[in-house]
Amino acid sequence: MSVEIVERAPEIKDPILILAVPGAGLVGIIAADHLIKAAKLEEIGKIDSPLFPPVIGVRDGVAMNTVKIYGGKGLYVVKAEVPLPVDPLLKLTVAVLDWVARKRPRLAMVIGGIPEEDRIKLDKPKVMAVFSSEEAKSLAQGMGAELMSEGYLSGYAAFFLREAGRRGVPAVAIMVQSFAAYPDPGAAAEVLRAVEPVLGFDVDISQLEAESETIRLKLKELMAKTVETARESPAPMYIG
């Protein structure tokens, strides 16, 4: 079964891509939501597939796709608004990388959280980066993330980097210590601070920090569904 990508706006040349899917602490989703609002990105496309769960969004009585593309300021943000089982998630990733590779992107990023048992004790969770190549690393000078010096990375982030590398797309996985099953706006704020230097514009995170409790309550149900999906169809991430 195929994954269909529909783009409804003029193509962005040499873009940066950010891919955000539900995961630990919903870090990617929270960061993407705030970036879309702060940068005033427009919804410019959708992604759909028969492989995706039979879930739709509804707005004013109208069905909405749950995987959306936002664009502007030299940036594409692809955001999945519902958790996806492993196989549909991997096929979505392949389709997105095939799509963006034709645009010769400057950099492709996947952002997310790494469950940290002692997260509640951390005032400032650590942000880590793993690049697909030396070229990608050189393109992200100034990024506020600690490089993973050696070890192993597995799971979704590893798949993303490997598939990006196969397509010649410079890529980075940005991962931050986060709560596992509790929405974590604080960790999302640290991710945005880390990636801001490569975006080419400032990202005001003051509103994200001010509304952190509202965000946690709003995303409580999505977090529960994400945990349930991960339990049924696990794709663990490992760093060591």
Structure tokens that stand for 131 in this block: 């690049």
Spatial CB neighbours of 36, under 8 Å, sequence gap ≥ 6 = 70, 77, 79
- Positions in the chain short of pLDDT 70: 1, 232-240
- pLDDT recorded at residue 237: 45
Residue 216 contacts residue 33 (beta carbons within 8 Å): no
Alpha helices by DSSP H, listed for 114-200, are: 134-139, 156-166, 185-199
- pLDDT recorded at residue 141: 76
- State pTM to two decimals: 0.91
Structure tokens that stand for 52 in this block: 């995706």
- pLDDT recorded at residue 79: 96
Class of domain 4-239: alpha beta
Please state, as a whole number, how many other Cβ atoms lie within 10 Å of the Cβ of residue 178: 29
Q: Alpha-carbon distance 186 to 195, whole Å?
A: 15
Q: Alpha-carbon distance 96 to 92, whole Å?
A: 6
- pLDDT recorded at residue 181: 86
Residue boundaries of the structural domains of the chain = 4-239
